[in-house]
A and B are shown apart, each in its own frame.
Chain A
């Protein structure tokens, strides 16, 4: 594995170098805005952007915007009566252009791996995964809302990254972890990391909070129906306004809706992010709704992350990025939900 040492200027030059041949995205300066329609708020194209300095914590919205873009065109068709192929659904040309995501945090990198459990056979997700190179930034500090260590991650984790960049006191070290990462750095005049850099990196990795899933793992052994019937959902459901903000910013919420869209006889079938917080999500055409109550929908989101997903795939469907904790308008905190669930008898 190659490890390079970069100054701030060298790092910025490297990003601009990549921008010449590929589409490069980075967390938007100021965290909120996005000047481009091809990614969610919180990210921007790196071309001509300023120095790559990141605020602590993850970007405003998650990396799923690049692997699971919305809308994603699933099929196209013509509805023109003169067209012999009228109403024939066709697969669109798949995007193959390389995209480089710079500045995602270890939590987001881990979310890509988790979503890949259900999406292993999904052609769109896999195509996007195949054309995306991830250059992550490890975390120097954890925000007050961060809890990746409790979910089995770590602020210094490199899982899922092609290149992991760590900010040291006076420089950056870039660990090249995969062939895709090597391709990005091949032929460039980069200084190898000094012995002191490597020592500092090792020390950082040793001193940072370590993955500790032990407390939560006891949830996996608990009876599903007991947790489902726990009284805590009632109170939680009363606070939750089902706005769905948590599901949109969540890196591991992966459900989608499919709709048809026709403009002047040209149609396409698209998929885009949905939210189990919305009553329409589960509504039958008969009018019957299996999750017709607000509380049932709130419960479904937490149970999916903490019980249903682990039961199907193993790990929890949460990486502890803390975005939902930051953005919930009624201050629902998944860490408190977890603590409460752990006490359910």
Chain B
């Protein structure tokens, strides 16, 4: 039987991620230890963040299952619940309901393959979870390429971690910003351009792409040109949701329910659906 009752959690820490202050990462710790131990998710899944008196919102889980003892959610301030959440402080109580959705195929289609992760803007959250998971299980995967772009250096999330990852020789990192910026010595250019330059080989590979629809649209042609096919490319859809359990119908894309059948789909699957996302 479905339970709609969220687990009570405490906000343990809040990190302001971006220069505009609109993105904050919330570190959540379960109040009940047994619930914490029972919680199991895979990268790419989401959960409902539940604020009493405000409502629930579906947010991708930014922490990897390998990070024990807490959950991370990076939240953009956009609507009623996210605005209320942004005004909260460490120590306060919220709820978490989940994990929900399918997640990336880390144990199946991704196993033993070269992994290309392409992220734009704050859609990087569940891909952070994925990258950390892959690095923790490094021997199970081939070459890992991580391409990530933001508008400005100050809009890049997880900046300390990006610097740590850059030091590793088992992950190829390409971090880019849209325009030249003072103090920025890294790549400059839109994500599709950089993806074209990096030109990851499609052979024995899987790509995970999350970002604004326009970025995804322009990232595909350079990949297709070098032989990538739609069933090698995984995307994560978003739609308005209420229950997250496949009942409330809000997130339907044709016969497909983003909350239940997704949010992760291959591009081939997405192309067969009506464009209602």
Residues of A within 8 A of B (CB): 74-75, 77, 79, 86-91, 118-119, 121-123, 126, 224-225, 228, 254-260, 262, 267, 269, 271, 274, 276, 281-286, 290-291, 296, 300, 303-304, 307-309, 311-312
Q: Knowing A89-B8, A260-B54, A291-B276, say if A285 contacts B3 (CB, 8 Å).
A: no
Which residues on the B side are within 8 Å of A86 (C-beta)?
93
Which of A77, A121, A259 meets B52, CB within 8 Å? Answer: A77
Q: Is the CB of A290 within 8 A of B247?
A: no
Considering the chains assembled together, what is the distance between the CA atoms of A175 and B239 in angstroms?
47
Q: Which residue of B lies closest to A313 (CB)?
A: B255
The closest CB in chain A to the CB of B253 belongs to A290
Which B1-27 residues have a C-beta within 8 angstroms of A?
1-6, 8
Extra contacts besides A77-B52, A254-B247 (16): CB < 8 Å = A87-B52, A88-B52, A121-B1, A123-B4, A255-B250, A256-B243, A259-B55, A260-B52, A260-B54, A274-B250, A282-B239, A285-B79, A290-B277, A300-B252, A311-B255, A312-B255
Question: Which residues of A lie under 8 Å from residue B245 when comparing CB positions?
Answer: 121-122
Tell me, rounded to whole Å, the shortest Cβ–Cβ distance linking B107 to chain A: 25
Looking at the assembled complex, report how far the CB atom of A250 sits from the nearest CB atom of chain B, in whole angstroms.
13
CA distance A56 to B254 in the complex (A): 36
Question: Which residue of chain A has its CB nearest to the CB of B256?
Answer: A308
B1 and A255: CB pair below 8 A? no
Q: Are A79 and B249 in contact (CB under 8 A)?
A: no
* B149 vs chain A, min Cβ distance (A): 19
A281 with B94, Cβ < 8 A, contacts A77-B52, A260-B53 known: no
Interface of A is mostly: mixed
B276's partner among A258, A290, A309 (CB-CB below 8 A) is A290
Whether, in the assembled complex, B246 has its beta carbon less than 8 Å from a beta carbon of chain A, the answer is yes
Distance of B191 from chain A, by nearest CB (Å): 19
- The smallest C-beta distance from B68 to any residue of chain A, in angstroms, reads 24
Residue of A with least CB distance to B95: A89
Task: Report B246 CB to chain A, min CB distance, Å.
Answer: 7
- The answer to whether A88 touches B255 (Cβ under 8 A) is no
Total A-B contacts with CB atoms under 8 angstroms apart: 117
Task: List 30 A-B residue pairs with CB atoms under 8 Å apart, sorted by A's residue number.
Answer: A75-B4, A77-B52, A79-B52, A87-B52, A87-B93, A87-B94, A88-B8, A118-B247, A121-B1, A121-B2, A122-B1, A122-B2, A122-B247, A123-B4, A224-B254, A255-B248, A255-B249, A256-B242, A256-B247, A258-B243, A258-B248, A271-B248, A274-B242, A281-B240, A281-B250, A282-B239, A283-B240, A308-B254, A311-B255, A312-B255
Proximity string of chain B (111-155) to chain A, C-beta cutoff 8 Å, 1 when within and 0 when not: 000000000000000000000000000000000000000000000
The answer to whether the Cβ of B67 comes within 8 Å of any Cβ in the partner chain is no
Interface residue ranges, B against A (CB under 8 Å)? 1-6, 8, 50-56, 78-79, 82, 92-95, 238-240, 242-243, 245-250, 252-255, 272, 274-277
What residues on A are CB-neighbors of B1 within 8 Å?
A: 121-123, 126
Given A79-B53, A285-B78, A274:B248 Cβ within 8 A: yes
Known contacts being A254-B249, A290-B276, A304-B249, is A123 close to B3, with CB within 8 Å?
yes
Instruction: Write out the residue numbers on chain A whose beta carbons fall within 8 Å of the beta carbon of B5.
Output: 75, 89-91
Question: Which chain A residues border B2 with CB–CB below 8 Å?
Answer: 121-123
CB nearest neighbor in B for A308: B255
Residues of A contacting B56 in the complex (Cβ-Cβ under 8 angstroms): 258, 269
Interface pair A119/B247, CB less than 8 Å apart: yes
A311 to B247, alpha carbons, bound, how many Å? 15
In the complex, A303→B277 CA distance in Å?
Answer: 16
Looking across the interface, which residue of chain A has its beta carbon closest to that of B8?
A88
